[in-house]
Amino acid sequence: MKRRHPFIFVLLMLMMFPGGLLSQEDRSHFSEVFNRGKPYRIFLPEDYATAEKSYPVIYYFHGNKGSHVSSLSDVMAAFVKENPVIVVAWNGRSVDSDVRPYNIGYHSNINYETQFKDYFPEFVGHIDSNYRTLTDRANRAIIGHSMGGIMSFFMAGKYPHMVGTAVNSKGSPEFFIGYPDNHTLYCVRYMFKNLHGVALRFQNSTTGELVYLNDEVHAGALQEGNLAYEYQAYEGGHGLMPRDLNDAFEFVLASFKKPLPAPGRWHHADLYPDFEIWGYQVESNLAESGYIEMMGVTKGGMGITTRKWQPHGRIIPGVQINVKTPPLYEPNTAYTLLDYNVTHDSKEMLNLMSDVEGSIGFSVNHERHQIGIYKKKDPAEIVYLAHKVNGKNIFLEQYETCSLKLRLLNRGGGTAKNVRVEISCSHPDVSIANPVVEAGELVPGEPVWIIPDFEITASSQPPANGAPFRLKFHLAISDKSNTWSDEFEAPVMYDVPEFTNIGIDDGDSEIFGSGNGNNIAEPGESIMIYEVSHRTRLYYDDPYVDGERIHVDLQPDKWGDGYAVSSVIHISEDCPIGHQIQFLASYEVKEWKTIKRNVTWGTFTITVGVDTDQ
């Protein structure tokens, strides 16, 4: 066989890469998702043409008015020249003429059925099939700026089994995502639950339009806790500077060298009816805005429910959910499935067979469920069900020492004896007098209010912006043989001024509330409550408030980022006349140029059937 001359080989490679081996290449591929060609720009390392090895891949997501043709291509090329990594800049335009990418934003910005959540795995598949790449999640990263920043965290949270690292540079803090006729508000500050197991870096700035809203996002990451999370605020404005991009690249390189393992226990909230996550296949008939949420997922089971919004949204009636697990179990083996319906405080025990591969399928409705999966002689597995403060509701009283009682469930197969529960909170203004409680014995399938109560004092202040306000508590639970972890959030009834200029819309506006329009909250009515002229967001724990929907405003601002949310609540038909309902409430006023949310908190009580002005 005739040997090819080395010069001819190099010449052929230069013909394949006309700009030289170190320059970027603009390519395209046919996308079945978009049913057309999609362009991209790829940067290959210096030795790609001569080495026989595979490389990790960094995907770059551009911002508004951008495309795969980045103004920082020289920075990307220089980075790839010095490091054994492939960088790919994708094109986020639904159609070539669009300057606004990703088909996300406010209602008027969502114009296409085609979804980028479907394109991302297709595009990754194309790159992995046509280039020598390392195809495991540990060697795949996303860096995104502005609108690409929110997409970086969104995609990494939707596909953490595909993505090991994500960098969000000055990203948009919240947008509607989904289909033109069915899209859901996605607030980054509430969605860090999806990102456990992913190395995260969030880059903010000190001036510019998104600084204050992204302070809220940072607060959301801190509230979530237990993340592999790094934060930096850069002097200057919103634009992506070479230093920002180089720091993002260096963070990704470090994460490639020390990849995070897949989490052994995880959460996920998805705004699409069907999805796959960590090998679990979920299908549903969800046909309206909202989420399917999976909580505390392990081999031993999961919590699962629907939520109209994040966080702590109402359940969505009429939704049926089918789940198929990955092949975690012994094939063709009998298992017990515990379905504890938290909404109705009831349980059902089912006998199931794993399939030939070791997967198990089950179905639940829209309500809140705790699912346990075990076979004979499997160990216990203990999870949080509920809490109650001072025997009344879920609110801690600010500055007061409160008795917090926990309800736990053993969703596993064995009895847990000599159970020890330790509670903690990372917030500095929370103290716990007795952080450890001996809870005794927990038998399978029987929920227990453990004794004694925890004594907790919360001196935390309400946030002046839209940062998450609930306190997150972490539980470390153990018996003589096993340990488990869980978490829950508790709101604080802040000692704030009372709202005294309350108005009730029960249909007189013909926009929000519905009822007889006499401005009195009455059984069976839906009401919006105002403080002076401000629509309020309401927080409560009252059995006679049996429904809520949220109204989202795009208040005037410079960029159309940051949404004001208010509540429309429903008073149950059987609410007694004279019943009093206590609320913690807030409203926001947003600054135009800086897009800063200024939130005012208050409390008030309404008496059902009684005029508030009397």
Q: Which band of pLDDT confidence, cut at 50, 70 and 90, is reported for residue 556?
A: confident
Cis? peptide before 263, omega within 30° of 0: no
Range with the lowest mean pLDDT among 100-109, 495-504, 516-525, 550-559? 550-559
Relative to beta strand 165-169, strand 140-145 is parallel
In a domain, 3, yes or no: no
Position 23 confidence tier, pLDDT thresholds 50, 70, 90: low
| Mean pLDDT (whole number) for 286-309 | 98
Last residue of a domain, one of 230, 257, 284: 257
Copy the structure tokens of residue 501: 């200029």
Residue 86 Rama label (left phi>0; alpha psi -120 to 50; beta) = beta
Alpha carbon of residue 116 to chain centroid: 17
Q: Which of 60, 61, 56 is closest to 85 using CA atoms?
A: 56
Predicted pLDDT at 554: 87
| pLDDT, position 614 | 60
Q: What is the dihedral of CA 46, 51, 57, 63, to 10 degrees?
A: 30
Q: Indicate if 360 and 403 belong to the same structural domain.
A: no
Q: Which of 493, 513, 531 is the last residue of a domain?
A: 493
Structure tokens at 397: 């009283």
CATH number, domain at 209? 3.40.50.1820
Which residue among 313, 342, 374 closes a domain? 374
Q: What is the pLDDT of residue 57?
A: 98
Categorize the per-residue pLDDT at 127 as very low, low, confident or very high, splitting at 50, 70 and 90. very high
In-domain check, residue 410: yes
Is 8 a member of any domain? no
* 434 and 416 inside one domain: yes
The stretches of 370-431 forming alpha helices (DSSP H) are none
Mean pLDDT of 424-438: 97
Read off the pLDDT of residues 208-219 as tens digits, 9 standing for 90 and up: 999 999 999 999
Whether 128 and 223 map to the same domain: the answer is yes
- Dump pLDDT digits (tens) for 573-583: 999 999 999 99
Q: What is the DSSP letter of 374?
A: E
For the range 422-427, what are the long-range contacts, defined as Cβ-Cβ under 8 Å and sequence gap of 24 or more? 422/475, 422/476, 422/477, 423/454, 423/456, 423/473, 423/474, 423/475, 424/473, 424/474, 424/476, 425/456, 425/471, 425/472, 425/473, 425/474, 426/222, 426/225, 426/472, 426/474, 427/458, 427/460, 427/471, 427/472
Average pLDDT, the chain: 95
Residue 560 pLDDT level (bands cut at 50, 70, 90): confident
CB-based contact 329:335 (threshold 8 Å):
yes
Looking at the structure of the chain, the number of domains it has is 4
Strands (E), 154-299: 165-169, 174-179, 182-187, 199-205, 229-234, 266-270, 275-277, 280-284, 291-298
155 and 207 together in one domain:
yes
Distance CA 46, CA 299 (A): 44
Q: Say if 12 falls within a structural domain.
A: no
Alpha carbons 593 and 606: distance in angstroms, whole number: 36
Q: What is the mean pLDDT of residues 117-129?
A: 98
Residues 218 and 69 in one domain: yes
pLDDT of residue 555: 77
Which pLDDT tens digit goes with each residue over 49-64? 999 999 999 999 999 9
Same domain, 107 and 180: yes
Token pair of 609, please?
């059937």
Least confident among 39-48, 203-212, 548-557: 548-557
Tokens 């551009």 belong to 62
The answer to the question of residue 409 being in a domain is yes
Say if residue 509 is in the same domain as residue 472: no
d(CA 344, CA 310): 22
Same domain, 308 and 442: no
What integer is the mean pLDDT of 122-143? 98
Question: Is 295 a member of any domain?
Answer: yes
C-alpha–C-alpha distance, residues 33 and 36, integer Å:
8
Position 16 pLDDT exceeds 50: no
In a shared domain, residues 154 and 36: yes
Q: Is the pLDDT of residue 7 over 50?
A: no
- pLDDT tier at 611 (50, 70, 90 boundaries)? confident
Exposure of 531 in the CB half-sphere (CA atoms within 13 A): 23
Domain presence at residue 7: no
Q: For the segment 334-392, what is each residue's pLDDT rounded down to a tens digit?
A: 999 999 999 999 999 999 999 999 999 999 999 999 999 999 889 999 999 999 999 99
429 is in which domain, residue-wise? 382-493
Q: What is the pLDDT of residue 612?
A: 72
How far lies 291's CA from each of 226, 304, 310, 311, 371, in Å? 23, 11, 8, 10, 18
Kindly state whether residue 568 falls inside one of the protein's structural domains: yes
Predicted confidence (pLDDT) at residue 133 exceeds the cutoff of 70: yes
For residue 15, pLDDT beyond 60? no
Identify whether residues 131 and 230 lie together within a single domain. Answer: yes
Whether residue 563 contacts residue 174, with contact meaning beta carbons closer than 8 Å, is answered with yes
Confidence of residue 518 (pLDDT cuts 50, 70, 90): very high
CB atoms closer than 10 angstroms to residue 544: 18
Share of the chain above pLDDT 90, in %: 93
Is the pLDDT score of 10 beyond 60? no
One domain for residues 483 and 411: yes
Pairing of the two strands 537-539 and 165-169: unpaired
The label of the residue with tokens 């080395």 reads 6
Same domain, 104 and 178: yes
